[in-house]
Amino acid sequence: MNPAPPVTTMRTCPPRSLSAPTSVSESVATISGGGRVRACVLGANGQLGRALVAARPDAVALDRAALDIGDADAVAAHDFTGVDVVFNAAAHTAVDRAETEPAKAWRANAAGPAHLAAAAREHGFLLVHVSTEYVFDGTAPGPVPEDAPLSPLGVYGASKAAGELAVRAALPERHVIVRTSWVVGDGGNFVATMARLARDGVRPAVVDDQVGRPTFAPDLATALLVLAGSGQHGTFHVTGDGEPVSWYRLAREVFARCGRDPGDVRPVSSSEYAADKPHLAPRPANSVLDLSRATRAGVAMPAWRDGLDQVLARAPR
């Protein structure tokens, strides 16, 4: 759901705890009709999945080992009895590997949602499916609205677009598709990596011609709960709010807040970064999504700079 951004470095960072506030678990307890709902989180070991489980600790949490959504027979045989809403955070998000192992991407990102949509139609649960800005090529000026034509880049984007189409076809009147971008959650992520490099004295080269807005996983989890309980259906865009930023500018922000000279971050173009990487997947230049429809549905996303402060406050010193 959130492919790694281009950054030239040989180092990685350790996982970091990033949990949703406990009040989130009570923020949306009902879906239209009243009563406590039974929720199921798929992809429960991923960045977003962990945030959803933290937000709804009473949810049934299933990782790939427990339910492989790419397996049609496994999904058909799974007991969804009593489940009111399924949050699908399961996906093949390795955007570069998708170019060399497309079957895995299509299995998880296209076939998987189709299998879940069929189960939702049979059992009557609400399917909340998480998608990506990679269904767009990033050439249109932002913010990009929900009804913009699909124009995916690469295998990852094409497989995610196909997953969206499968959900809409099977559940035309009752589905929630949430496109997001630049997700930062519990575990390795761009912000934590930049904080680590800042502490270690590294001077990274970071792409400056791709823009978007970071989305912090606990905020996204809250938004998914709100949309699930809103009674509204269709496609929504949910990212962090605030001024768009490039990966390079975001890296500079992190360096400055870590006490490093932001001038130690060097900007490079996407073409420069990709010059010696023949299997690098294409990435959208503009990942800025229009948030107005989700806002009207009751979603209030914090400014990404506020979330950045919270993430860095938790980062190891």
Catalytic residues: 156
20: tokens are 């949703």
Cis peptide before 278 (omega within 30 of 0): no
* Dihedral class, residue 201 (left if φ above 0, else alpha if ψ from -120 to 50, else beta): left
Report the half-sphere exposure of 209 (CA within 13 A, side-chain side).
Answer: 10
Q: How far apart are CA 227 and CA 218, in angstroms?
A: 14
Report the half-sphere exposure of 258 (CA within 13 A, side-chain side).
Answer: 31
